[in-house]
A and B are shown apart, each in its own frame.
Chain A
Amino acid sequence: MDAHVAQLQMQYRNYILSLYQQGFLDDQFTELKSLQDDGTPDFVAEVLSLFFDDCVKLVGNMARALDQTGTVDFSQVGANVHQLKGSSSSVGAKRVKGLCINFKELCEAKNYEGCVRCLQQVDIEYKTLKAKLQDMFNLEKQIVQAGGIVPQVDIN
């Protein structure tokens, strides 16, 4: 087997493992991958793309809701957090989901500063994840271009 391909594959494996180990992804992401097959080779990429679109939209909504001079509608913020929590859970975005759980509590407590801070963290977190997953997809592309097959990574 081509040494270059083997090296890329190892790099890929290690990268994926690190994403799980560092808590970026959980087993729902594994489930997503398992739903992808030769007939639907872009499934994971498509779902993630929708997820990140959601992030942009919901973070935007929350920023606007928290940017009120006067009374902040915390239930509105909470509704958006709920949606983000849902979609992050559905794609296995573990850290984002975790932040959303905290965020929800802050909304219920009507903790303005807490919410603002949490929103900033959510913003950073989803963008970080997006960059990491982009790196993952790039590695996949490199492997395929080098003539190899993207390995199934067993995270257990």
Chain B
Amino acid sequence: MGMAAAECQFHVLAVDDSLVDRKLIERLLQKSSCQVTTVDSGYKALEFLGLRQGTESNDPTALSPSPQVRKMNLIITDYCMPGMTGYDLLKKLKESPAFKNIPVVIMSSENVPARISRCLEEGAEEFFLKPVRLADLNKLKPHMMKTKLKNQKLEEIITPSNDENGTVAAVEPEIKDSVEMEIIKMLPIQSETEPKRVLLQVVQQEEQMLSNNKRKSMEEGLSTDRPRPRLEGIATAV
């Protein structure tokens, strides 16, 4: 992109039900030197991040986030999607202690002022009208950079309260090290792996962790700082 040598590697999760738009946003983000993962629904986004809509439970659950999420610097999502809209996704993310600090950007093909202000009020960083351009993404760098540094501090705070007693602890120091090591160049642990393969590995790890620590992580997942009543009464893990 012709920017400074200290070009940051950000990891972005892009959510859009349109294949054409996914292809486009992926290319735009790659061109902005970001590592991209694309999913086609809000549900898949939550699943990727570690919030599950499990077979045992109908509600999303703030479980111990997968190690993958530590590296998400941005989530960019379409507004109009079947099932879970971008706005719904935004709300769920902001309700979650682990994810509320990841900047979320909403994209929409429709310029509806009420929609835009609702999203911004709910905590979206930006609202882009489609088709999204490279110039739009350049606006995001400061957000991602800020959050990356903030997240490093937050990890140090969140880690104790989200503990999975050993299993995650084994993983977390690794992540923290990689984050701290590379303030400028954010490389995932499996740095050469494509995002999809990383996800598979992570999901497998996740599933192992979950089966070991289901109830415990559930109890701790129900943290007190979630303001809305929506997620109360979740007794089963995924």
Interface positions of A (Cβ within 8 A of B)? 28, 31-32, 34-35, 40, 43, 46-47, 50-51, 53-54, 82-83, 85-87, 89-91
B31 engages A82 (CB within 8 Å):
no
Q: A31-B131, A89-B130 are in contact. Are A82 and B80 (CB under 8 A)?
A: yes
Pick from A31, A34, A35, A90: contact of B20, CB under 8 Å: A90
A selection of 10 A-B contacts at a CB cut-off of 8 Å is A35-B27, A35-B134, A47-B20, A47-B23, A86-B20, A87-B18, A87-B20, A90-B24, A90-B130, A91-B20
Q: A40-B27, A43-B27, A82-B80 are in contact. Are A54 and B131 (CB under 8 A)?
A: no
Interface size class of B (residues with CB under 8 A): 10 to 19
Cβ-closest chain B residue relative to A39: B30
Complex alpha-carbon distance, A86 and B109, angstroms = 7
Chain A contacts of B31 at CB under 8 A? Answer: 35
Chain B contacts of A40 at CB under 8 A? Answer: 27
Complex alpha-carbon distance, A87 and B20, angstroms = 6
Given contacts A40-B27, A50-B23, A54-B18, 18 further A-B contacts (CB under 8 A): A31-B131, A31-B133, A31-B134, A32-B24, A35-B27, A35-B31, A35-B134, A50-B19, A51-B20, A83-B18, A85-B109, A86-B18, A86-B109, A87-B20, A89-B109, A90-B20, A90-B130, A90-B131
Complex alpha-carbon distance, A83 and B19, angstroms = 11
Chain B contacts of A43 at CB under 8 A? Answer: 27
CB-defined interface of B54-90 with A at 8 Å, one 1/0 digit per residue?
Answer: 0000000000000000000000000010000000000
B27 engages A90 (CB within 8 Å):
no
The 4 closest A-B pairs by CB, nearest first: A87-B20, A90-B131, A86-B109, A50-B20
Cβ-closest chain A residue relative to B24: A90
User: In whole Å, how far is B34's beta carbon from the nearest beta carbon of chain A?
Assistant: 14
